[in-house]
Structures are given as structure tokens and as C-alpha cells.
Structure 1
């Protein structure tokens, strides 16, 4: 089949593909394209049109356009302002670029006209059987008629024209030329020379367009139904309002009017009132939009419920506060003292800045209940916010109103719950707060707890500043290590230390037993627990700093006693030290008591744990070897460094203690702390390990009634430690008589109650020499 070759001016079109039989106008503004049109008009008015691959390309070359385009005849050219031309063309035949003759000053291409092939039709037998061809023509016309029903934009004249076409090629070209296809879909049809495949591609695209129009029609129908429903509701409301006015029954105010009345009566800062006024106006103007109305209504109701200027009077009776604190808690003298000081300052200054108290201590020591008692003493509303596991900053600051399901933050919600602007707000478990990609929660708390900033705290949902300066914040934590320093600086830390056995017994008698008897439906005369039984429970059935486990054990006894009373018809159950095991089973914990005899290489150390103090034995053995130091018992990095520091100190003073020069080259030193399954770490076992090593190396026995705590330096200085109260309590429980502590901890010793220190000889030391003199037997 011969193919005609032509040389024609060429124009690259943006976002437009021209097809045969297409009559179309387009605007031309590029100088190269304008000159190409002018050259074509000077000749036979034929031009080659092809589409750009990327519509953003400003100066396309041969690689930037599709190789297949359309030869078109220019029917009309109209000049427009700003050096533009409007060109009317009609597409004639497909063609492809052979070579670009030149690109400046305009594009001219050598092209080959592509004739239509009909091999596919011949294969199907359409030429031999006219019925097949007729069926194809009718099928295409039926599809096009169905499309016309869905898209009324196409003219009726086109429908008549299509109906009168009986040639398959012309039918396919005319329909393709008049369909509102995208330029990429039109380019697919342009690049297909085979008539049968072009027929199938056009039929597929027509059916796809029909399906899209069906979906669009269904969506429009649903939207119209919703709009009609809203309009109907609006008309009915207006009619109802008119009927009420006609009947004189117009007492019922609209929601907007009610909101306006409440806003006028609200005691709040000017900024809040202005914001409320704007939102109420928006509410009135959005009555036809239920989704927006719902969001605005929730916001207005929240703003109206906030206690902007509502305050409660503080109860300033110091005697009453002392009575409440003593009723609710046994011990905790430092905490009670600080609370009473705060009340005294408030009473004298009439206001006073509210401090941020941070109660730090082990679990179960009554930190949360102290906050409740303080609120009761002040007769203030009490609200509690649990911060454990809070990761999202929006939990504190609130969500912006633009989010679906937006709500105020926990601080604003707690104020709303309290109903006044000066409640006692407990931020529980502040050390358990964590951060992630949603924001820095600790930084949000900085603004809440900073007395210089919190008078203008801005919640993202409320969008107006709240005054938190009058809120009495109380925070609780188990440890200060996870709280960032800037946040810690804004709080007044009060340590709530471990309870002694005596304190636990008093708490059990005065608080825990009455509470559990009431919870289990028992009268006070139906169950009695002896003091010795309580003492044993505290020592051998619980191992904690607080009283939570002790309360559970009392609950266990109450349940068993209730069952026993019902089954045996007893009038009362008496629990003593002897029959305690019948109710609680065998003893769970046994204290390691002081060794009966002095031994070589064994020293009793004191440790602080999250459940109080404990004692631990450090054992050292010396054996022939090559000078290695072996450390076992799951020791942490700090304890390992303490052991190495201790051995270096011993080597530096080996002459004074008559240790042979080659001793450390010919012997291995093995340090072990029993209970190897329990990890151990901390900076307070240095002098203990050094003493044990010196004892094993020199062969001198260590006194069995001595325990010690303190860190050692390379030169033998003894450094201070923490948790002294818990450690001394553990030493006393273990039957230790003499405790060696760092000299810098002497102020801590003075603050510890005589109940703990009674019977203990506490010796402060500043150097390792003094430790060895006390601990090593002569």
C-alpha cells in the first residue's frame, strides 16, 4: 500500500489531540506556531498538528511531541489582542513524523500519511458478509444513543448526522471526533490505524463514559435529596415560628437567642465574650448547614460551661486542715507541715500564688490520697487527671476545631468538670508521660505548670486564653529521673518516703481494716486481727514501701472470714500470729538477718529498691590465678565500675596493709552478689565491695553486725548516697546494730524519725580508712 509523503508546517498543541473528521478551533500564542500558521496560509492551507507530551513544556522539540498527529485544513484565522490567533481547522488524515526538517523560525516536518487498514474486518468476514458490518454499525449507534441520553450537552444535529452515516470508518471517526475525551484518550484513538481495533477501543471508552455518568448521576441524586430535606426542615421551622407568633405563643426562644442570653449573663473576660458573640452570629447564619451547626453548637456550649470567673472561697481554718490531714493519714509529717504552711500563707496574703507541689515516692505510699485530703481541708473541688501513658500533645492543649471530633484538652475539661477556676487539680503519674511524633507532651505541661505563663494558657479548641494561675496543682511521681529538668524546676518536690512496720501497723488499724470490713460487709466485732498478725503480714507477706499489698492481704482475710462465718455459723473470727497461715498461706518473704559470726570476704550492703530498702550480701573469694577480676550476680555498669575503682584503691594502699607485691599478679579476685537472677545497679555499693575485697585479700574478718552504704573514689573518699531512710529501715529489720554512712549524709540522718534510728549506731565516715577500721575485726 503506497503511503503519501508530505512536507508541512507543524504546530504542537497543549492538551489537545486532533482527530480526522474533527472540526475544532484553538488559540495560538507562541511565535513559532503563529509563523507556522502563516506559512500554511500562504501555501495550500494544510498544516500538521500533534499534541505535546507535557503541557508545561514552553518550547517543544521533536522529542517533546507525539510522533503521530493529524493533517488538517485551516478553515479560518482570526487575529486576537496580545498577538494571538484563533484558528478553525478540520482534521483530514492520520500522519506520522519521518524527520523534523527544521525547528526555527517555525517547525516544519516531513510526514507520512497513514492510511486506514481493514485487515481485522476482513478476518471477521465483514467484507464477505454485509450482515456482520451492519451489526457493527448498529451496535456502535446504539451505544452512542445511550451516551446521548446521559449527556445532553451534545447537539441534536449530531445525533441526526450519526444516524444517517452507514459507513463504518466514517461512523467511528465522526463519533471519536465529537466525544469529550481527554487528549490522551484521543491520542490513543489517533495512533490506532487498524479500523477494527479502533472500533473496539472507541466502544470500550464509550461504555466507560456511560458508567461514569451513571455514577455521577446517582451521586447528584443523593446530594439533591439531602439538600431538599434540609430546605424542607428549614421551611417547616420558619412556618412553625410564624404560627407561634400568630398565636402569641412566642415564649420559646430559638437556640441562638438562648445562647445569646446565656452569653450576656456569663461572667467572663472581654475577649471570651467577643469570641462567643462571633460564634453565635456564625451559628445563626449556618442554620441551613447541619454539619457546621453541630460543630458550632458544641463549641458554644463548651464555652458557656467553662468557669471563666467562677471561684470558690478557700477554707483557711488551719486547725480544721490539721485535723483532716491527721484523720486521713498516719505519719507523712513533712507533707502535712508543707500543706499547713501553704494554708497559713494564703490566710495572711488573702490570695498568694498557688505553688505546684510534686509528691514523689514509691507506689502505695498515699500520694494520690494526700491530694484528696488537701482538697477536703481547703473545701475545694477536686479533679484528677491521669497522665500515665499520655503521648499526644493535644491531650493537654486540645484539638483544633478544624479536626473531626475535636474536643478541649484534659486541663480545660477538668476545669469544666470542677465548675470553678481555682480547684485542686491532681496531675497523677507525671513521670509516666511520654513523647512521640504527635508532639512533646512535657513542653505542653511546661506552660500549664509555669506560674509566669499559665495565666494565659491557650487551649487549641477554645482558642481563647484561660487563667490557670489560681489552680492549685498537685503532681505525683514515682521517680524524678524521667521528668525533664525544666519541668522539675517549676515544681516544689516533697518526698513521700517508705513506711516503717510501725507506721504500716497504725495505718492498717486506723484506715485499712475499717475500709475493708465495710467493703466486705463485715461488722467490726465479726473480724479481729491482732497486732502481732499485722506485724507479721507487713514483714513476711508483703515487700513494699507503701501499704497497697498489705491492704490486699487484709482483703484476702476478710473474704475468707466472710465465707467461714456463713459456712460454720460463727459469730466472730479472730486472726492471730499463729493462725495467720490458714488465711494467707505460707510466708512469702523472709528477711536475711545479720550473720551470727564474723566472716572473711562477706559484707552486708544496703540497697534502695522501688518497693523500699533491702540488704544484700557481697561475697569475695581470692584464688590463685593471673590477676583477673570476676564479677557475677547480674551487676550493672555502675557497680562494675565501683568494683574496679575499689580494687585500684586497695592496690594503691597495699603496702600499708602488708599485701605482697606480686599478690595481684598471682591471684584472681571473684566478686559475687547472691540472687543472680535479680539485676543490681546503683552508685552506693562502692565501700561495701572495697571492704569485702580488702577482707578477702588480707584475711581479716568483717564484723557480722555492721552494714554500710556509700560510693568510693579512686583516692578512697566516700561519696553521699540517696534513699537513706529506706536503707536504715532495712538494716534495722535485718538485726544490724552498726551502720556506716557517708559523712555528707549526716543532715539526712537528723531528719529521720527516732523510731527508725533507735537501737542503731550510725557512724558517718569520709574516707575508706575509717570504714576499714570500723568494719574489719582486729
Structure 2
């Protein structure tokens, strides 16, 4: 943060109205700029030297705000950096310097300008203000280890700055910026000139933000504990699909979903269903580039193609089997007789779980056929 405060203009201040958010003194933020008049203003500036006024709109929907559309106080800002974001848009890095009162808008240029007057912090009781600032610093340090992540990550970034800040008013402003408050609450802080009152307001807003974050975290934890196993698996599977999509690993997902649908429709018995569910869980957790992925995929495709639930009701014709064996294989009388005996027993008993025959011999003698 710059230690040198330049001379602040009071006439024809280039004005940048914000639809949402507040730039506080003692803070640095990046502001997107896209409205034509604001773009014209940015194009006229010299980075690092130009001082502008940053105002806050009462209604973010207003495109070309007039004086009545702006909050009465804004912030002088040094434009530290300008980056072109598009053909007619910019991002600027702005450092808040001091509050100022917007007295009048001027319309004599291609962009919005204003007459204004610097507004100093009001210190009714300097000792009380310093004590409140110290108490807020200590509260931030004390609460950091137990804060919810969304609050913790932001306050960690600001805790060192708070420790180095000597002005009580800037402590309040920087802490308000760190809390990621909604615009309405940030405006409350911006419009509070008396430092002790501002510090009390920020302390209350910090306690409220921390409490809300902790309540959200508790509710989220309770909801997750209340999930059934199936719900948890569904949520995790959905998250996994989203992650794979971001990583570019979502190709072929539609084919896999089709395979799952075919397996769901198959009349699998209980044991087969257990195996299929296990392999589906494995393939869901795999990267398609893994070698084992294709092995499991082929295995599941084979299972899906089997005629589950279908039963052959054809009559066993011993004479037809004998004719077929004689036509395809010369000799092998003992082997053919054993096969015919086996089929005859199967026909008489009707037992599908009969003895399985094992045909042994060198390659090429007709075992398979």
C-alpha cells in the first residue's frame, strides 16, 4: 500500500460508478470497466498517477447514474494499473485513499466527472477508537484457527495488514473489505464517519458473518450425515463425473451409460448382479486411459450380451447327434459313444447340472468342433 498520499482534487474528479461493491480507503481491489462513459474515462488516465473518484450506485440496474442515483460518499482512488480485457473493456487496479462527498455531477466531458470534498474520519474519543481497533485485531487472531474456510481464507490475507495498521479507521475499513459483505452492509460502513461507531459496526458484522458461516457448515455436515448410502454414492458419482468432464475424461461416458442400462435390463441372477455392481463401481472410479478399464468394459459387454433368463426347450435327438458326429469326425468311436451316452442320460434325467465332459488330445483332432 502506498505511503504517499497525493493532492486530492475537488473539481472535475473523473468518476467511476460501481454497480456493486465498495472500495474502502486503505484497500486495493480490481474493478472491471465496461460501460462506454467509464471506458472513455479509463482511456484518458495515466496508470500510477491518475486520481479518480469511485462511487457506489443505489440501484445497480441504472446504466447512466445521476447524482440522486449515487451514495453521498465515495472514495478517492489511485489507479495503479490498467489492463485491457477486450475491445471496449478494461480491468483496473485501484487503491482506495480517502472518503469524499459527492457534491455535484458535471456533464461537460465524454465521461462522468464530479465536484467533491474530502471527508476526514471523525474521532469522538481517540483512546476508545484505538482500544476498539486493538480488540478487533485480537479477535481476528483468536478466531482464525476455528473459522469456516470461506471466512478463514480471506481474513488470513488481511490479518498481517491489520497488524501493521496504525489508524483505527483504516482497521475498520480493511476488516470490512475482508469479510466479503453484501453491498448494502459495505455501504453502511462507508457512510459511517465516526471511527468508534464504525469499528463497533464492523465488529458486529464480523461476528454475524462468522456465525452464519459456522451455521452453514454445521447444517451441511448434518445433511451429509443424514444421507443414505445410496444418496451419498449418487452425489459422489455426480461429482466424479463433473471432475472427469473438467479433466477432459468424459469421452465415451454416453456409451458407458448405455452399457449400464443394458445391464440393468438384463435378467441377472443374484450372484451375477453382485459381480456386475462391483465391476461398475470399479470402472466408474477409473480413468478410461487405464489398461484395466478396457478389460472390465469388455467383460461387462460380454455379460450384457448373454441371453440371461432365456432357456432352450429343444428336444434332444440322439439319432441326429449321432449322424452329426459321424459326418464331421471319422473314427473316434469311443469318444462319440461316450458323448452319446452323456446326452442320453441328460435326456432321460432332465438334469441341467450333469457331469461336464473333458475332451483331451493333441491340437487339430477335433475337440472343439
Tell whether the 8 Å contact from 1:12 to 1:50 is kept in structure 2 after alignment: yes
Q: In the alignment, which residue of structure 2 is the partner of 1:162?
A: 162
Q: In the alignment, which residue of structure 2 is the partner of 1:245?
A: 271
For each residue in 1:567-612, what CA deviation from the matched residue of structure 2 results, as whole angstroms up to 9, or x when unmatched?
xxxxxxxxxxxxxxxxxxxxxxxxxxxxxxxxxxxxxxxxxxxxxx
Q: Structure 1 residue 41 and structure 2 residue 67: aligned?
A: no
Change (3 A) 1:134 1:233: same
Give 1 or 2: higher helix fraction: 2
Structure with max Cα Rg: 1
SS at 1:63's partner residue? helix
How many Å separate the matches in 2 of 1:5 and 1:164?
28
For each residue in 1:338-395, what CA deviation from the matched residue of structure 2 results, as whole angstroms up to 9, or x when unmatched?
xxxxxxxxxxxxxxxxxxxxxxxxxxxxxxxxxxxxxxxxxxxxxxxxxxxxxxxxxx
SS at 1:193's partner residue? coil
Question: How far off is 1:231 after superposition?
Answer: 5.1
Change (3 A) 1:208 1:147: farther
Query: What is the TM-score with the length of structure 1 in the denominator?
Result: 0.28
Query: What is the TM-score with the length of structure 2 in the denominator?
Result: 0.56
Tell whether the 8 Å contact from 1:17 to 1:184 is kept in structure 2 after alignment: no
Change (3 A) 1:232 1:73: closer
**Aligned partner (choices 126, 132, 139) of residue 135 of structure 2:** 139
Question: How far off is 1:205 after superposition?
Answer: 0.8
How many Å separate the matches in 1 of 2:65 and 2:144?
36
Q: In the alignment, which residue of structure 2 is the partner of 1:67?
A: 72
How many Å separate the matches in 2 of 1:244 and 1:209?
52
Q: In the alignment, which residue of structure 2 is the partner of 1:82?
A: 87
Change (3 A) 1:42 1:26: closer
For each residue in 1:725-759, what CA deviation from the matched residue of structure 2 results, as whole angstroms up to 9, or x when unmatched?
xxxxxxxxxxxxxxxxxxxxxxxxxxxxxxxxxxx
How many Å separate the matches in 2 of 1:111 and 1:6?
5
Tell whether the 8 Å contact from 2:19 to 2:56 is kept in structure 1 after alignment: yes
For each residue in 1:260-313, what CA deviation from the matched residue of structure 2 results, as whole angstroms up to 9, or x when unmatched?
xxxxxxxxxxxxxxxxxxxxxxxxxxxxxxxxxxxxxxxxxxxxxxxxxxxxxx
Change (3 A) 1:103 1:50: farther
**Aligned partner (choices 32, 41, 57) of residue 27 of structure 1:** 32
How many Å separate the matches in 1 of 2:103 and 2:202?
27
Tell whether the 8 Å contact from 1:14 to 1:55 is kept in structure 2 after alignment: yes
Question: How far off is 1:16 after superposition?
Answer: 2.0
Tell whether the 8 Å contact from 2:129 to 2:195 is kept in structure 1 after alignment: no
SS at 2:152's partner residue? coil
How many Å separate the matches in 2 of 1:185 and 1:51?
12
Q: In the alignment, which residue of structure 2 is the partner of 1:98?
A: 103
Q: Structure 1 residue 117 and structure 2 residue 113: aligned?
A: no
Query: Once structures 1 and 2 are overlaid, which stretch shifts more, 23-32 or 160-169?
Result: 160-169
| Structure 2 residue ranges without an equivalent (≥5) | 1-6, 235-267, 275-369
Tell whether the 8 Å contact from 1:69 to 1:95 is kept in structure 2 after alignment: yes
User: Where do 1:354-393 residues align within 5 Å?
Assistant: none
Question: How far off is 1:58 after superposition?
Answer: 1.4
How many Å separate the matches in 2 of 1:40 and 1:113?
21
SS at 1:41's partner residue? coil
For each residue in 1:70-102, what CA deviation from the matched residue of structure 2 results, as whole angstroms up to 9, or x when unmatched?
000000111122311111101000001122232
How many Å separate the matches in 2 of 1:80 and 1:44?
21
How many Å separate the matches in 2 of 1:99 and 1:233?
61
Higher relative CO (CA 8 A, sep ≥ 6), structure 1 or 2?
A: 2
Q: In the alignment, which residue of structure 2 is the partner of 1:194?
A: 194
Change (3 A) 1:42 1:137: closer
Q: In the alignment, which residue of structure 2 is the partner of 1:208?
A: 208
How many Å separate the matches in 1 of 2:108 and 2:71?
16
Question: How far off is 1:117 after superposition?
Answer: 1.2
Change (3 A) 1:220 1:38: same
How many Å separate the matches in 2 of 1:37 and 1:85?
8
Q: Structure 1 residue 17 and structure 2 residue 22: aligned?
A: yes
Change (3 A) 1:57 1:174: same
User: Runs of 4+ in structure 1 displaced over 3 angstroms?
Assistant: 132-135, 163-167, 228-234
Q: In the alignment, which residue of structure 1 is the partner of 2:221?
A: 221
Change (3 A) 1:112 1:135: closer
How many Å separate the matches in 2 of 1:197 and 1:102?
36
Question: How far off is 1:39 after superposition?
Answer: 3.3
RMSD: 3.2
